[in-house]
Amino acid sequence: MMKNCWPCQAGSNFIEKNSWTVSGILLHVGQQTHLLSKNMSLFPPIRCCVNATDSVLPRGFVALEDKTFVLEPAFNPDNGTHWIYRGENLNLAPGSCGHGFNVSHFVLDTVGGPAHAFGTRHKRHAQRATKYVELIIVADNREFQKQGKDVEKVKQRLAEIANYVDKFYRALNIRVALVGLEVWSDVDRCSVTQDPFTTLHEFLDWRKLKLLPHRPHDNAQLVSGVYFQGTTIGMAPIMSMCTAEQSGGIVMDHSDNPLGAAVTLAHELGHNFGMNHDTPERGCGCRMTVDRGGCIMTPSTGYPFPTVFSSCSKKDLAASLEKGVGMCLFNMPEVKVLYGGQKCGNGYVEEDEECDCGELEECMNPCCNATTCTLKDGAVCAHGQCCEDCQLKPAGTPCRDASNSCDLPEFCTGANPHCPANVYLHDGHACHNVDGYCYNGVCQTHEQQCITLWGPGAKPAPEICFRRVNSAGDPYGNCGKDPKGSFARCEARDASCGKIQCQGGANRPVIGTNAVSIETNIPLQEGGRILCRGTHVYLGDDMPDPGLVLAGTKCGENMMCLNRRCQNVSVFGVHECSVKCSGRGVCNNNKNCHCEAHWSPPFCDKSGFGGSMDSGPMRLAESRSLTVGILVALLSLLAGGLIICLKRKTLAGLLFSSKKNTLEKLRSVGQNRPSSPNQMHSGFLASPARQTPPRPQSTSIYKVCPPLAC
């Protein structure tokens, strides 16, 4: 039997493993013909990913230690003949480059990753918890035409792409669940052109306004049949997972085999997760050498295709999760919406299943029968943070700590083995001692971004730096680009939402070798000058500027940067939501009250167990201690009563004394116990387009401004 093979995507109908043991499937390797037989001991350990349906013959990839082979049906597959060949020999679509592509994206090639960007935070053991990306893949009209105008053929290809991506991410404890496919068979729903920058923004806008309100999901990717300008084959914003505005990307279907597009999609999804490129100066560890494909986040993709992640990618992912990126990934996907139907062994507990620990060879769960997807004798549960030793944890047991000042903790309910879906503070809620406001579960401030760019000791520059530099409307001072691609000047009220301006820190930006400092001297009316430090990152003319202030950053009292404008946080309605919490709780992202420990949801106006309708009840250590104290007192009374009954005559005087002492003890306990919930204390803190100049030899650019210019 071929070991370590498994279907890659939940819910699809795949070829069973024992089908591989049947002799007679003809495979061609180069000029030699081999027969796949039961005698697989001749081969070294392998891993593979195979897709098949009732109407489509199996195809996939097989990794034999240091080589990757691709399995595909032959040109005339009526007799069941398949081709198996090295990954580097994959056919390229006409006009594509055969030795690698330069993948454009919104990323910063950081050295060592962004692990130190946000200071001390509470860790939630996010690496140990399985994350689930509910993915929708969209095929544009050109892709539909490219696949022979066959909708089912396009859907099958997209499903195969998702299967591969899910396989890649399993190694990171992430499942990519395909919850929807959309094929634009008549006309594109948004503008798709050869300009990848414009196409990306058009697609992300369409996703936010049209797709997301009607089909809830975590991330969407456009697979396009259009050939993008230059060598770009994919593009995606960095650290944008779960956001309504930017959780997505675009992928060019550049290879005959869907594995090629799958690697690019996995790469762009990695940028959404916060993964940067595996550049040489980062010293990334990759168990696949370059001639064997390297790792998925390498800056350029060639043949053979990479199928694994590097040590740098894992560090970047861990840092992003600790910052609060990916707040939506801790809930199980709705199994009824998984594309392709249910199947025992796909790792998702579906209808009529009590558990599902994956395929028999990979199942290590002591509570679940992998063959039947049923619980073993005596087991109540098999999966989830609220399941321990096959039994449910008590209600109130913490199952997910708050990861940052905008996150909220979750607790076991006592009735479900899974931790409740992740919740966090409502957008616009104050955080970091009112130095910032929460946005998508993250507290963004100018100071944090300056530290990210310039290292420890950096801080935001005075407001005059933002106003004077960002009013220029050039590559070094702007509020992004307008629809025509020209640099946009910042209005005075929006200056704090343009290019980030800092002071202090390192001598040069710490974010990578392709970043240079932009130092501007501004003369003051009272005499002297002030130094403003910005950054410019050379990523190409069609790239957005990673030196811009991040969305959600505080830009004034009750003000936040949104779409490069400084807007009032009242647009989120956080105040109206908090009012209903009776001053004893905070409003979460579902607009429900998260109550203090001794108050009950939904409105925190009655005594109870704390938490919210979403998070589960908090554990009440004080109440448990009080209960133990009362039980001890009652046992003391019973023991005293027994002694009195036995020695009534001789202990008459002691009886009176014992009663007095007992009453004093109870009175003491009553004094320590709050007389009402009101005594409890809160646990919460309330022009024409400009070309980007060529990269200079120096790592700094100096600008000197006259008193009223710049």
Residue 452 has pLDDT above 80, yes or no: yes
- Please report, in range form, the residues annotated as the binding site: 267, 271, 277
Tell me how far apart the alpha carbons of residues 40 and 539 are, in angstroms, rounded to a whole number.
48
Residue with tokens 């000042």: 405
Tell me how far apart the alpha carbons of residues 276 and 333 are, in angstroms, rounded to a whole number.
27
- Name the residue among 63, 74, 569, 456 with its Cα closest to residue 293: 63
End-to-end C-alpha distance for the chain, whole angstroms = 71
Residue 651 has pLDDT above 50, yes or no: no
Residue 668 has pLDDT above 60, yes or no: no
Mean pLDDT of 253-278: 93
Helix axes 621-646, 652-672, angle to 10 degrees: 170
Highest-confidence segment of 141-155, 448-462, 684-698: 141-155
Pair of tokens at residue 354? 């009590």
pLDDT digits (tens, 9 = 90+) for 167-177: 999 999 999 99
28 pLDDT tier (thresholds 50, 70, 90): very low
Pair of tokens at residue 570? 């009242």
Residue 311 has pLDDT above 80, yes or no: yes
9 pLDDT tier (thresholds 50, 70, 90): very low
Residue 313 has pLDDT above 80, yes or no: yes
383 DSSP β-pair partners: none
Share of the chain above pLDDT 70, in %: 67
Mean pLDDT of 634-660: 55
- In sequence order, what are the residues at sequence separation of 6 or more whose Cβ sits closer than 8 angstroms to the Cβ of residue 268? 103, 105, 221, 234, 235, 236, 249, 250, 251
SS3 (DSSP) at 62: strand
- φ, ψ of residue 160 in degrees (nearest 5): -65, -40
* Residue 300, H or E segment: strand 300-301
Residue 46 has pLDDT above 70, yes or no: no
SS3 (DSSP) at 251: strand
**CATH topology classification for 101-114+128-330:** Collagenase (Catalytic Domain) (3.40.390)
Q: Can you give 519-542 as a three-state secondary structure string?
A: EEEEECCCCCEEEEEEEEECCCCC
Residue 641 is given by DSSP the state H
Per the model's pLDDT, the better-predicted residue between 289 and 647 turns out to be 289
- In sequence order, what are the residues at sequence separation of 6 or more whose Cβ sits closer than 8 angstroms to the Cβ of residue 217? 134, 135, 136, 179, 180, 211
Contacts 24+ apart (CB under 8 A), 13-20: 13/52, 13/53, 13/54, 13/340, 13/341, 13/343, 14/50, 14/51, 14/52, 14/53, 14/343, 15/50, 15/51, 15/52, 15/58, 17/359, 17/361, 19/58, 20/50
- Name the residue among 42, 44, 38, 45 with its Cα closest to residue 17: 38
Residue 459 has pLDDT above 90, yes or no: yes
In the sheet that holds 554-556, the strands lie side by side as 554-556, 559-562, 565-568
Tell me how far apart the alpha carbons of residues 517 and 98 are, in angstroms, rounded to a whole number.
36
Put residue 292 in one of left, alpha, beta given phi > 0 → left and psi -120 to 50 → alpha: alpha
Tell me how far apart the alpha carbons of residues 503 and 465 are, in angstroms, rounded to a whole number.
10
Any idea which residues carry the catalytic annotation?
268
- Name the residue among 158, 299, 311, 314 with its Cα closest to residue 234: 299
Residue 394 has pLDDT above 80, yes or no: yes
Q: Which of 26-35, 86-95, 510-519, 644-653 has the lowest mean pLDDT?
A: 26-35
SS3 (DSSP) at 29: strand
- φ, ψ of residue 533 in degrees (nearest 5): -120, 115
**Contact between 160 and 139 (Cβ < 8 Å):** no
111 pLDDT tier (thresholds 50, 70, 90): very low
In the sheet that holds 234-235, the strands lie side by side as 174-183, 131-139, 219-224, 248-252, 234-235
CA distances from residue 587 to 327, 381, 558, 680 in whole angstroms, order as listed: 16, 32, 17, 19
Helix axes 311-323, 258-273, angle to 10 degrees: 40
- Please report, in range form, the residues annotated as the binding site for Zn(2+): 267, 271, 277
Mean pLDDT of 380-398: 95
Kindly report the length of the chain: 710
Share of the chain above pLDDT 90, in %: 45
CA 583 to chain CA centroid, Å, is 32
Extract the runs of DSSP E, i.e. beta strands, from 30-86: 32-36, 46-51, 59-64, 67-73, 82-86
Tell me how far apart the alpha carbons of residues 411 and 428 are, in angstroms, rounded to a whole number.
24
Pair of tokens at residue 695? 């990269």
Q: pLDDT at position 390, please?
A: 97
Tell me how far apart the alpha carbons of residues 576 and 337 are, in angstroms, rounded to a whole number.
34
Put residue 242 in one of left, alpha, beta given phi > 0 → left and psi -120 to 50 → alpha: left
Tell me how far apart the alpha carbons of residues 613 and 559 are, in angstroms, rounded to a whole number.
29
Q: pLDDT at position 202, please?
A: 94
398 DSSP β-pair partners: 411
Tell me how far apart the alpha carbons of residues 113 and 101 are, in angstroms, rounded to a whole number.
23
Domain ranges of the chain: 5-89, 101-114+128-330, 436-571+695-704, 573-607
Tell me how far apart the alpha carbons of residues 119 and 450 are, in angstroms, rounded to a whole number.
12
